[in-house]
Amino acid sequence: MSSVCTSNMKTFTIIFLILNTGFNGHLGMQWLPCLLKDELVWKNEEGHMETKYIHKNAVLQFDNLGDSSLHPDSITFLVAPSKVDIRNFLEGDVDQMQCEIHRYSKGMSRVRWPSLGGTEHDIWFTCILRHNDGLFDITTTAYLRVTPASTMSPHQSDFHSWVPLAAKEKLRASAVMVLMTRSPTVWVGLQKKNQTLHCQFAVDHKAPDLTVEWHLHPRGGRRTRLFSYSTRSGQTEGDGVAVNGIARGDASLTVPITDRSSEGMYLCSVLVPPLNGSLVIALHIMQPPSVSMSIEQNQFPRLVCRADQYYPLDVDIELFKETSSGQPPNNLGNVTYYRHIENSDGTYSVSAFVRLRPSPMESGCGIYSCEVKHSALDGGYDYKSITDPGCWTWIQLTSPGLICLTAVIFLFIAVARRCRVKSLTRQ
């Protein structure tokens, strides 16, 4: 195996599967620094497979027709011009891109990549590109042919025979396939009826044997297949993808947003033997609450704040009272929550209240407000306020309160008269 890993130029085939990218004209870019996370696989004393990851510096170098490396101290992938150019699918500042390269196993498959130079013994790598500032998040899968047929055993999985790469190795590569999405993460409200999940692909040759599939893995549920199309059989299962667009490389899926069951991880797969490219799109339901508040007049009035039809579940409610202008409102403690109610569409509703108990030191007059915090709200919260329509004293002006107040007044008058009579008698 060591005799194969020499300083001579090797021939490689590379496939890039790109997530969340768009054309930005990086055709003048000469190289991109990467981190190669190489793997050493062996059997331990108990017969179990173990893997050790070894990090090495690597470089993707473009349009290099010779053997010259711009960074001779790193492992260099010399990416030659092809019908699929990775630079067409990059955007943003190159200095803020993160690049990782991993080994990729195609198992025992010996199917040859049909374009020029492919062999049945190709070994492939996975290259992942990400952008630091969140402008885009792309995943690139690179398939690289690394060893001649004589070094591969037909009785072993290819990861047993992976050739270790020297620190200054130079590897010739070419891009052969691209799979990309402009919507790796989607946030959508239930009021939207349909959502399109973008999935686009391209290959370096006309692929007579191509399969496109979509799967959904919902939260807490089993993975289900939503769509399948095969050019070889011409058969289509499911819907949501325009079959006539697949010929142009468009495999986008339109999803009906009915309730929260639409939420989950969507997998777009494009199979061109021996390669099976896929990307994951996360669809999140985010429904902001409708906020309202009121004062319920009972024996002891209650300040009630209600949040209706929100998702996900987490919500926080705080109640405040403003008694004088220009002063910050006071946070009312002892907030009581009703039990969450799950609505028919999978959203939730909840109410919170505070009992208003006026005392001789505090009247009920004032402006009350309610602040609801939820991840789907603009700015993270919604704010509602209400002015108390009536000011009560420490004795509540309800029928029992009026009776009690009247009794106290008559009692006070009776006691006062009796005291006056006794005073006159003594005189």
Complete domains list, the chain, with CATH: 1-180 (no CATH), 181-285 (2.60.40.10), 290-387 (2.60.40.10)
Task: Give the up-direction half-sphere exposure of residue 339: CA atoms within 13 A in the CB hemisphere.
Answer: 3
| pLDDT recorded at residue 220 | 79
| pLDDT recorded at residue 228 | 97
Rounded to an integer, the average pLDDT of 340-355 is 89
| pLDDT recorded at residue 176 | 81
pLDDT at residue 199 above 60?
yes
For residue 245, name the pLDDT band (cuts at 50, 70, 90): very high
Count of Cβ atoms closer than 10 Å to residue 267 Cβ: 18
pLDDT at residue 261 above 70?
yes
| pLDDT recorded at residue 395 | 41
- Between CA 178 and CA 191 the distance in angstroms is 34
Rounded to an integer, the average pLDDT of 179-200 is 86
Rounded to an integer, the average pLDDT of 317-323 is 85
Count of Cβ atoms closer than 10 Å to residue 78 Cβ: 26
| pLDDT recorded at residue 4 | 34
DSSP assignment letter at 14? B
Burial class (CB in 10 A: 0-12, 13-18, 19+), 386: middle
pLDDT greater at residue 391 or residue 263:
263
DSSP assignment letter at 235? -
Rounded to an integer, the average pLDDT of 382-387 is 79
- Between CA 376 and CA 110 the distance in angstroms is 49
pLDDT at residue 55 above 60?
yes
In the chain, % of residues over pLDDT 70: 72
Task: Encode 276-313: b = buried (16+ Cβ within 10 Å), e = exposed.
Answer: ebbbebebbbbbbbebebbbeeeeebebbbbbebbbbe
How many contiguous H segments (helices) and E segments (strands) does the chain have? 2, 26
pLDDT greater at residue 74 or residue 360:
74
pLDDT greater at residue 419 or residue 399:
419
| pLDDT recorded at residue 292 | 92
**Top mean-pLDDT range of 13-22, 221-230, 317-326:** 221-230
pLDDT tens figures, 24-49 = 457 778 888 999 988 888 888 888 88
Question: Which contacts (CB < 8 Å, 24+ apart) does range 95-99 have?
Answer: 96/131, 96/132, 96/133, 96/135, 97/32, 97/129, 97/130, 97/131, 97/132, 98/129, 98/130, 98/131, 98/132, 99/32, 99/33, 99/34, 99/35, 99/60, 99/127, 99/128, 99/129
For residue 14, name the pLDDT band (cuts at 50, 70, 90): very low
| pLDDT recorded at residue 23 | 37
